[in-house]
Structure 1
């Protein structure tokens, strides 16, 4: 069973992560549809009910969240937290709430019981409908590459979706079990986003975390599918570290993160070269950017909002990349490539890029996967990369392309 391996911990680990064997997996086991579940490398959260919704409005989302947390504190809630999801389009409504109750445990990665396998998916006949079809997606990639060679822009992230429908109502608790146990060192989430709709996934990418005055961001860009053959898997990892195309794509993202974080920090540290992280299905180029917060009143969510969307999920320049996405993708991204996470009234929190995800409703899952397109991109290779990224979810439900 593969886990997400990071070069540096995203935030400090709990003081005694091994003190309660089964504490994290108990929260994973207790999740039921309608709850809010979030597992990160530092903690596991299971929230019930809604004490207060963060309203939609014209004020920046970080201000609206801060006000909701202040009001919750005035209602004598000792340590309120906000948890939920923000969409790709920043002016679209978010799904953020202050829960009635929150149970907290250590990271799943620290719980030895996470090694126990989840139940295998039941044998099911699935109907799979791609949007767009793979050949249409490849043509969109080819068109974007042509425009880049003409000098219009330097990168765009293009996505496609799969609508996967089964004969019975989806067992979301079982899916979350498989996602959490498959990559316990990553970010597993299941969050309501509307009536009878749930956003669930297992993202490897931290947008930003804050603990005290320490900020961490872990941008990922440049990917290659893993192989079941060990020697081939190692070869692919080594090739990714030497790929000029992927190193350039990664450098663009890291530079953008650095530029956004710098005004908020007294110091920022950026490694000279990326390292690798692996999930169950992909290798990624990874850089851990750390900073010391200069102003304590700035929350993790405020910085996350400034970072979003990074070139890793949109492109560069941002405004033109957004326009290319709207022109090319025949669907609304919704919460895909948005942000999921939690925050507290002191401004601490962890906010994660919403990838390797799906939205569930009734008998249907809508899966999302994207690839970073640069001038050196090959349409067939980018189509294959999105297919590999779909595997995170397809494996969790027992479906195939």
Structure 2
């Protein structure tokens, strides 16, 4: 049985799918041990719990909400922080698509078409006007000196039956350079394909990436190259990117990481989108729970929150008018040595019995244009919608 087959067939409460770039998939089924954490020290508590709960050779999968808040509504079952040591692990390759016909739906209601592919999935996007207004307010706050940057997000609902295992297969096939994840709790599953490593620790080597600055892909090679050139030369995009690089380096240094010199931003191209990317590396001795302490040192980065961080989070709470849940929070795994890999949960959707809840955000800085930021969120939302419609 392949990992996705095992994931799709599991009927218990806990199931996790993880496929890192260039690696085979691993699926965790059931829960041998779990820990939930909350409060301002949730990452330190999670690190201490991981050090206690993991035996040699075991891993714990973890996920955290963007904010330290109780799970509610659609996000019930996804608390402010949760670690699970699976009862069983299944490793192996990921097929190109799920099911014999590659359909997303299942059961009697889905039929051969799966209820999707543009036939049964109804997309409800009622946030366009309110999102433009929110970006305008963010720019005003920046102009008034309250903030330097803030990430403003919006939510889209898509109604229809969806099979999370097939969504994961399609995401894995399309986004080979991203971490594809699925975290299932009962009848819901949080799925995504994230391009953004929050932090990885392999032995004493620590790696993170500043991924900020966005441009669409072009309809042909010439247009695509023009979009890419504008991205690498745009002062607004460069400023947004520098905020993230400076933040990551400062926070890692404060956490005790001995940093290597950092190079210039590079262009990272994904299906549908270009990003600016800077690799940041350093060294720190591994210790049980260590990767989670680094997660706590970095989350939330300016790429998903803003700067200054505390004021940006306060602005988001007061003006965004949505429950981010685990969107833009850290998801990943840690082993008994304290090594592990955590990504920022982007290009994601919460799949439930009635459909999907998708969230995407854009970084707002001085001079940001509300219409352009709205278009950026459209591009990010389409990354997931394109595989389910």
**TM bin (shorter chain):** 0.7 to 0.9
1:232 is displaced (CA, Å) by 0.9
SS of aligned partner of 1:31: helix
1:272 is displaced (CA, Å) by 3.5
> Separation in 1 of the partners of 2:131 and 2:310?
21
1:190 to 2:185 alignment: no
TM-score of the superposed pair, with normalisation by structure 1: 0.84
> Separation in 1 of the partners of 2:122 and 2:351?
15
Equivalent residue for 2:124?
Answer: 129
> Separation in 2 of the partners of 1:228 and 1:314?
31
Equivalent residue for 1:31?
Answer: 7
**Structural mapping, 1:217-228, within 5 Å:** 217-228=208-219
CA deviations 1:271-315 (Å, max 9, x no partner) are 342001122121111011000115645611110111000010000
Counterpart of 1:119 (choices 102, 110, 116) is: 102
> Separation in 2 of the partners of 1:105 and 1:249?
38
Equivalent residue for 1:95?
Answer: 82
1:65 is displaced (CA, Å) by 4.6
Counterpart of 1:304 (choices 295, 299, 306) is: 295
Counterpart of 1:389 (choices 365, 368, 380) is: 380
CA deviations 1:368-392 (Å, max 9, x no partner) are 1000000121000000000010111
Q: 1:299 to 1:386 in 2, by over 3 A?
A: same
Equivalent residue for 2:49?
Answer: 67
Counterpart of 1:159 (choices 146, 150, 153) is: 153
> Separation in 1 of the partners of 2:66 and 2:284?
26
Q: 1:197 to 1:116 in 2, by over 3 A?
A: closer
> Separation in 2 of the partners of 1:279 and 1:396?
15
- Structure 1: runs of 5+ lacking an equivalent: 1-22
TM-score of the superposed pair, with normalisation by structure 2: 0.86
- Structure 2: runs of 5+ lacking an equivalent: 71-79, 105-112
1:86 is displaced (CA, Å) by 0.6
SS of aligned partner of 2:49: helix
Q: 1:276 to 1:116 in 2, by over 3 A?
A: farther
1:241 is displaced (CA, Å) by 0.8
Q: RMSD of the alignment, in Å?
A: 2.3
CA deviations 1:328-376 (Å, max 9, x no partner) are 2121110011011000110000000011001011021000100000012
1:215 is displaced (CA, Å) by 0.1
1:228 is displaced (CA, Å) by 3.1
How many residue pairs align between the two structures? 361
Equivalent residue for 2:76?
Answer: none
1:54 to 2:35 alignment: yes
